[in-house]
Structure 1
Amino acid sequence: MDRISIVLASDNNYAQHVAVACASVLKNASYPEHIDIYVLSDAIAAAQRSRIEKTVLSLGGHISFIEADSAALQGFVSGHLSKAAYLRLLIPQLLPEHVQKAIYFDTDLVVLDDVETLWNISLQGYPLGAVCDYGIMASKRMRRQKRETIGLSEGKPYFNSGMLVIDTVQWREKQYGQAVIDCISSNQFRHHDQDGLNMIFQNHWLPLPLRWNIIPPVFSLPLKVFLCSDMRKEAVQALKSPAVFHWAGRYKPWEFSVSSLFNSLYYTYLQYTEFKDVSMPQPGKDMKGKSIRRQEWRMKWAHFWTHIL
């Protein structure tokens, strides 16, 4: 069996969430001993690294930390994202040369299925596999904005960059990471490197099943998605068999006390980590307008229609 390469990137602030994501990967893996986890570190403290390492080893996985020179990213990092969020662009050059394929996960998600299933999906010669972003695709305003800023053709899909399957061989040969860096260095994109990735890989990426990156416009089933029959059908099917639950956007699971629908999955996998005794919840700096109750109602709506349909 092939070894499975999983990559996450983090600074010290997100170390706990790296451990939660890793725990979810390993707890749902049939063969955790075949999983190599690479953490691209932007100055994660030694104590935090030790907690992440103990979490992974206790669950049967293997882990390597790669201290990334995030100074190389200065000059184009923009918006609210940390430098670590952009390290995914450097994955092919930071990983060992023998790694020919990698799965990248954001740190604000949990994996609910065996990653071997995702690993075994053929990229069919494409350099990148990803999941469509229904938040962008279901919005006429956002599609117009993407057409004007990144040249996204009418009817073409746009992907979320929180989960990527990368052919590192092609990325190294064709220097795709540098192409994205050059692209976002000379533009101020609304969705930062995600826009840059979509611009560079337009017409050259493989859409993966929606269940492998379920973001808020899927798990809350807003009207703009619900009223589009094709998207509604795919969203409902994904929600019946979720593989990755991703809290993309402003509302993070650790900011609120445990709740049955919105963030119970995060708290479940937190208990398998060396961070299980930390003080929770951990509200963000800007909690204005954030309401767990609002999130709960949205998810109850989606839960109702998932069962009805």
Structure 2
Amino acid sequence: MSSLRLRLYLLLLFPIAISLGEASVSSSVTVTDLPAFREAPAFRNGIECSKTVWSPADRTHNPSIIHISMTLDAIYLRGSVAGVFSVLQHASCPENVVFHFIATHRHSADLRRIISSTFPYLTFQIYHFDPNLVRSKISLSIRRALDQPLNYARIYLADLLPIAVRRVIYFDSDLVVVDDVAKLWRIDLRRHVVGAPEYCHANFTNYFTSRFWSSQGYKSAFKGRKACYFNTGVMVIDLGRWREGRFTVKLETWMRIQKRHRIYELGSLPPFLLVFAGDVEPVEHRWNQHGLGGDNLEGLCRNLHPGPVSLLHWSGKGKPWLRLDSREPCPLDLLWAPYDLFRYTPLIADS
């Protein structure tokens, strides 16, 4: 087979390999498999912004700084980079945004290099998350991606981030922000530990097994609370109250119960519902237009929920970068595409 024909053959095969998505994810991702990205433009503060500098050695809380946490890994890196780019592009004070990335030790040096070269002006830290901390507590769910240890890192933010960081926004790696993130940052949590959009019309019973609902002891966890579903891919968290209330321990307790008695089917979400549902500070729905990735099995196209939009979230099986590469995007995937900094390498040279 000639070199040109081989390249054309690979070009035809590439979308097929991409469309396999999570089913073909291998744990043996190498450094050469990490994607390359174009350098993002520099985003500067407006004149109304107070100039401030953050250091991990700071011991006091600085209210002018917006702290955002996301995970970094080889599989979802393209989504994380798009998410960061979207935040900076729409922020009124982008230089006051600090990113706290959570990654496993594997590839951490390469991930740091990629973030530094893509966002040369970004203030960020990368924290090492030990998968062994949670691996024995994870039970199989309905989708492999939900069982990855890094998916549970949000439970440990209060332990991973510096003590002076008393509030953080947690973002999943499959979303883009299309509004000034300062508006989300400034919400009043009042006495609550977590703020997030709630969806009280959702059938809450579907998130737990019949074994859970048949046990008076288990379902009493919601006693005295009007429990509503909320998506943990967008949360504003009071880390000070989290630490004081030892909420990591409470979440781990439910994970251990799940290992023994199988009371739910969905990854890291149900423990959050068990601990926080009905005790969440409601946030406008515009801050999590979720479900754009379809359900957890087929990942079919979906439309936006009615109402204004500040954040688009491709929760579910379908991810916009995979569908775009497969040349079978959903209509809303085209709203994600402008934030994609992925650097395509042509398979056929121009000369």
Q: Do these two structures clear the TM 0.5 threshold for a shared fold by scoring above it?
A: yes
CA contact (8 A) 2:294 2:316 kept: no
C-alpha spacing 1:191/1:157, structure 2 compared with 1 (3 Å)? same
CA contact (8 A) 1:109 1:246 kept: yes
Aligned counterparts, 1:206-245, within 5 A: 206-216=281-291, 235-237=305-307, 241-245=308-312
Matched, 1:107 2:192: no
C-alpha spacing 1:133/1:184, structure 2 compared with 1 (3 Å)? farther
Runs of 4+ in 1 over 6 A off after TM superposition: 217-220
Please, which of 167, 172, 187 is the counterpart of residue 238 of structure 2? 167
1:260, CA displacement in angstroms? 7.0
Matched, 1:138 2:205: no
1:217, CA displacement in angstroms? 7.3
1:107, CA displacement in angstroms? 0.3
Q: CA–CA distance in 2 between the matches of 1:107 and 1:172?
A: 25
Q: Deviations over 1:24-60 (max 9, x none)?
A: 1111111110000000012352333312233333xx4
Q: CA–CA distance in 2 between the matches of 1:112 and 1:172?
A: 31
CA contact (8 A) 1:11 1:41 kept: yes
1:140, CA displacement in angstroms? 7.3
Matched, 1:70 2:136: no
Residue number in structure 2 paired with 1:176: 247
Matched, 1:40 2:102: yes
Q: How many pairs are equivalent?
A: 258
CA contact (8 A) 1:33 1:61 kept: yes
Q: CA–CA distance in 2 between the matches of 1:278 and 1:208?
A: 41
C-alpha spacing 1:160/1:198, structure 2 compared with 1 (3 Å)? same
1:139, CA displacement in angstroms? 3.8
Please, which of 184, 197, 208 is the counterpart of residue 118 of structure 1? 184
> Counterpart amino acid of 2:117?
K
Residue number in structure 2 paired with 1:276: 343
Q: CA–CA distance in 2 between the matches of 1:6 and 1:42?
A: 18
Structure 2: gaps spanning 5 or more residues:
1-49, 51-63, 296-303, 347-351
Residue number in structure 2 paired with 1:148: 213
1:20, CA displacement in angstroms? 1.1
Q: CA–CA distance in 2 between the matches of 1:140 and 1:35?
A: 35
Aligned-pair identity in percent equals 26
CA contact (8 A) 1:39 1:63 kept: yes
TM-score (norm: length of structure 1): 0.75
Aligned to 2:213, what secondary structure does the other structure show? helix
Structure 1: gaps spanning 5 or more residues:
221-233, 280-309
> Counterpart amino acid of 2:206?
M
Matched, 1:248 2:282: no
Aligned to 2:233, what secondary structure does the other structure show? strand
Residue number in structure 1 paired with 2:65: 3
> Counterpart amino acid of 1:33?
E
C-alpha spacing 1:236/1:183, structure 2 compared with 1 (3 Å)? same
CA contact (8 A) 2:292 2:316 kept: no
Q: CA–CA distance in 2 between the matches of 1:263 and 1:76?
A: 34
Aligned to 2:75, what secondary structure does the other structure show? helix
Aligned to 1:72, what secondary structure does the other structure show? helix
1:10, CA displacement in angstroms? 2.9
CA contact (8 A) 1:15 1:49 kept: no
TM-score (norm: length of structure 2): 0.66
C-alpha spacing 1:173/1:16, structure 2 compared with 1 (3 Å)? same
Aligned counterparts, 1:41-56, within 5 A: 41-43=103-105, 45=107, 46-56=109-119
CA contact (8 A) 2:72 2:102 kept: yes
Aligned residues: CA RMSD = 2.9
Q: Deviations over 1:151-181 (max 9, x none)?
A: 3579631111111110000111111012101
CA contact (8 A) 1:5 1:37 kept: yes
C-alpha spacing 1:260/1:252, structure 2 compared with 1 (3 Å)? closer
Q: Deviations over 1:58-104 (max 9, x none)?
A: xx431111111121112122332211110000001100110000000
Q: CA–CA distance in 1 between the matches of 2:294 and 2:322?
A: 18
1:205, CA displacement in angstroms? 1.3
1:212, CA displacement in angstroms? 0.6
CA contact (8 A) 1:15 1:52 kept: no
Q: CA–CA distance in 2 between the matches of 1:33 and 1:17?
A: 21
> Counterpart amino acid of 1:95?
L
Aligned to 2:184, what secondary structure does the other structure show? helix
The structure number with the bigger radius of gyration is 2
> Counterpart amino acid of 1:190?
E
Aligned to 1:192, what secondary structure does the other structure show? coil
Aligned counterparts, 1:190-201, within 5 A: 190-201=265-276
